């Protein structure tokens, strides 16, 4: 695997991105399951940064290069600044429709029709779900 970013630089990028969203990175304050999940997601995030699948610009917007583009989408942009519409869209779905709720939030965050997100390659979906989990946790 070819790395485009050193591990330390990728960790710094992750920390800066997480801090911009006020995400809790204090593993000591998490229970063991939360800490394990956080560590797995962080590793996935850092690897994606290192291999160039995701990048973060100076405004804090995160761009995911899709493995399999769909329609006119070759990438998804997770905006640093977005409004509560992303959260409100989640309320349109029943409690048991957790994936639809998550995709609605993801659609609001990336300004993408949630139904289009159904077409994401599983590898892209896994990374998107990890980013959403970090944010919503």
For the chain, the structural domain boundaries read 7-136
How many whole angstroms separate alpha carbon 68 and alpha carbon 79? 21
Long-range contacts of 72-76 (CB under 8 A, 24+ apart): 73/112, 73/116, 76/110, 76/112, 76/124, 76/128
Q: What pLDDT does residue 77 have?
A: 94
Q: What pLDDT does residue 72 have?
A: 84
Prediction pTM value: 0.86
Q: What pLDDT does residue 73 have?
A: 87
The tens place of each residue's pLDDT in the chain, 137 residues long, gives 899 999 999 999 999 999 988 889 999 999 999 999 999 999 999 999 999 999 999 888 999 999 999 888 899 999 877 777 777 776 777 776 778 888 888 988 898 988 899 999 999 999 999 998 888 87
**What is each CA distance from 67 to 2, 5, 24, 53, 81, in whole angstroms?**
16, 19, 29, 8, 25
* Phi, psi at 105, each rounded to 5°: -60, -45
């Amino acid at each position: 695997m070819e790395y485009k970013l050193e591990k330390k630089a990728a960790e710094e990028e992750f920390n800066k991105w997480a801090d911009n969203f006020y995400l809790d990175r204090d593993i000591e304050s998490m229970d063991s399951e939360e800490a394990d999940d956080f560590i797995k997601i962080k590793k996935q995030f850092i690897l994606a940064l290192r291999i160039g699948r995701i990048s973060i610009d100076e405004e804090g917007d995160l761009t995911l290069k899709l493995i399999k583009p769909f329609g006119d989408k070759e990438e998804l942009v997770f905006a640093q600044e977005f409004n509560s519409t992303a959260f409100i869209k989640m309320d349109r779905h029943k409690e048991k429709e957790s994936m639809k709720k998550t995709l609605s939030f993801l659609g609001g965050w990336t300004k993408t029709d949630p139904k289009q997100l159904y077409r994401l390659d599983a590898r892209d979906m896994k990374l998107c779900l990890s980013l959403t989990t970090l944010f919503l946790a």
